[in-house]
A and B are shown apart, each in its own frame.
Chain A
Amino acid sequence: MERVVKGSPVRRATGAALLLALFFTHAPAPAMTAGGGGDGDGDRERLLNDQAQVFDRLSSLRKRMERLAAKLEQEGNTHKAELLRKSIAEIDSRALEARKDDLLRKLKDSSLQTFEQQEKLLNDLSDVLKVLLDERKLTDVDEKLKQLRETRADARQLRFEEKRLREKTEDATGDEQKAFERLEKTLSDLLEKQKKLEKEAADEAKAAATVGSRESEELEQRLDQLAQAQAGVVDALEKQARARVGDAAQALEQAAKAARKGGPEELREAARRLDETRTEIEQKAPDLADRLRQVEQSLVEAADAAEGGKDAKDGKDAAKDGAKNGAKEPAKDSAEPDAAARADADARAKAVEARLAEAKRALEDALRAAPKTPAPGDAARAELEKQLGDLAETEPALAEQARQIAEALRARAEKKAAQGQAPAAEQEAAKAVDAAAQELAKAGAELAAEPKEAGAKPGEARRDLPDLKDGLEAAREAKKQLDAARDALAKAGEAARERQQGLANRQDFLRGETEKARQDAKSATERLKSSLDAAGKKKLDEALAQAGQEMRDATQSLQRSDPEGAAGPQQKAEQSLEQALQQVKDGKQKAGENARDKDPGAQQQQMKQLAEEQQKIEEKLRDLMQRMKDRQQKGQEQADAGARSMDRAKQQLDEQDGEQAQQSEREAEKNLQELEKKLDEEETRYQNLRSEEILFRIKEKLADARKRALALHDGIAQVDADRAGAEALPRRLRPKVQQFADDAAALKKDNDDIHDRVAKEGSPSFPWVLEKNSGDLDEIGTRLNSREKETGSFVQILASDVVGRYDRLLQAFDDELKRRQQSKQDPGQGGPPPPQQPGGKSPLVPPVAELLLLKHLEEDVLQDVRTFRAATGEASDPDLDEARMKLLERLGHRHTELTNIFDALVQQQTDPGAPGEGDAKDGEKGDGKTKDDGKPEEGGKPKDGGDKR
Chain B
Amino acid sequence: MRATKFRLLGAAFALAAAALLAPHARAQGMDPDQERARQLIVRIRRSMRDVDSLLLSGVQPEKVEKQLVANQERIEELLKQTEAKSQSVVADIDELIKLAKSRQQSGGGG
Contact = CB atoms under 8 A, between A and B. Distances in A.
B43 to A, nearest CB: 8
Contacts of A888: 55, 58-59, 75
A906 B12 contact: yes
Contacts of A865: 55, 79, 82-83, 86
Interface string A851-864: 11011001101100
A933 interface: yes
Contacts of A895: 48, 51-52, 55
Contacts, number: 156
Contacts of A929: 53
Nearest to B89: A858
Given A858-B93, A878-B65, A926-B52, A889 B59 contact: yes
Contacts of A830: 105
Contact of A855 (B24, B57, B90, B110): B90
Interface string B75-89: 110011011001101
A833 interface: yes
A404 interface: no
A878 B68 contact: yes
A108 B89 CA distance: 76
A832 B110 contact: yes
B90 to A, nearest CB: 5
B64 interface: yes
Interface string A797-840: 00000000000000000000000000000001111111100000
A926 B50 CA distance: 10
Say what secondary structure dominates the interface of chain B: helix
Interface centre among B12, B54, B55, B109, by most A CB within 10 Å? B55
A71 interface: no
A851 B93 contact: yes
B105 A829 contact: yes
Given A878-B65, A885-B59, A885-B64, A831 B16 contact: no
A936 interface: yes
A779 interface: no
Interface string A768-804: 0000000000000000000000000000000000000
B64 to A, nearest CB: 6
A933 B110 contact: no
A881 B68 contact: yes
A350 interface: no
Contacts of B57: 928
Nearest to B21: A847
Contacts of B6: 933, 935
Interface string B37-63: 000011111101111111111110100
A910 B54 CA distance: 28
A766 to B, nearest CB: 16
Contacts of A927: 53, 56
A909 B12 CA distance: 9
A283 B43 CA distance: 68
A831 B110 contact: yes
Interface centre among B24, B65, B86, by most A CB within 10 Å? B86
Interface string A882-912: 1001001101110110110011001101101
B30 interface: no
Nearest to A901: B48
A873 B56 CA distance: 19
Kindly state the interface size class of chain A when it binds its partner: 35 or more
Nearest to B97: A851
A875 B46 CA distance: 31
Contacts of B101: 831, 848
Given A889-B56, A896-B52, A909 B19 contact: yes
A910 B90 contact: no
Contact of B16 (A861, A872, A907): A907
B9 interface: yes
B110 A835 contact: yes
A846 interface: yes
Kindly state the interface size class of chain B when it binds its partner: 35 or more
A743 to B, nearest CB: 34
A878 B72 CA distance: 11
Contacts of B5: 935
Given A831-B101, A851-B96, A865-B86, A892 B58 contact: yes
A898 B15 CA distance: 21
Contacts of B93: 851, 854-855, 858
Given A848-B97, A868-B79, A928 B54 contact: yes
A111 interface: no
Contacts of A854: 93
A893 B59 CA distance: 11
A910 B15 contact: yes
A851 B100 contact: yes
Given A866-B83, A928-B53, A835 B23 contact: yes
A858 B86 contact: yes
A869 interface: yes
A847 to B, nearest CB: 5
A869 B80 contact: yes
A35 interface: no
Nearest to B23: A835
Given A831-B101, A899-B48, A902-B44, A875 B72 contact: yes
Contacts of A885: 58-59, 61, 64
A930 B59 contact: no
A98 B97 CA distance: 58
A882 B45 contact: no
Interface in A111-161: none
A934 interface: yes
B73 to A, nearest CB: 10
Contacts of A882: 61, 64
A869 B76 contact: yes
B29 interface: no
A929 B42 CA distance: 16
Contacts of A910: 12-13, 15-16, 19
Contacts of A936: 49
B32 interface: no
Contacts of A855: 90, 93-94, 97
Interface centre among B94, B107, B109, B110, by most A CB within 10 Å? B110
A569 B55 CA distance: 68
B83 to A, nearest CB: 5
30 contacts: A828-B107, A829-B105, A830-B105, A848-B101, A851-B96, A855-B93, A861-B51, A861-B86, A865-B83, A869-B76, A869-B80, A872-B76, A878-B65, A881-B68, A882-B64, A885-B58, A885-B61, A885-B64, A889-B56, A891-B55, A895-B55, A898-B48, A902-B44, A906-B12, A906-B20, A910-B16, A912-B19, A929-B53, A933-B46, A935-B9
Interface of A: 828-835, 846-848, 851-852, 854-855, 858-859, 861-862, 865-866, 868-869, 872-873, 875, 878, 881-882, 885, 888-889, 891-893, 895-896, 898-899, 902-903, 906-907, 909-910, 912, 926-930, 933-936
List the 3 closest pairs (A to B, CB-CB), nearest first: A831-B104, A928-B53, A892-B55
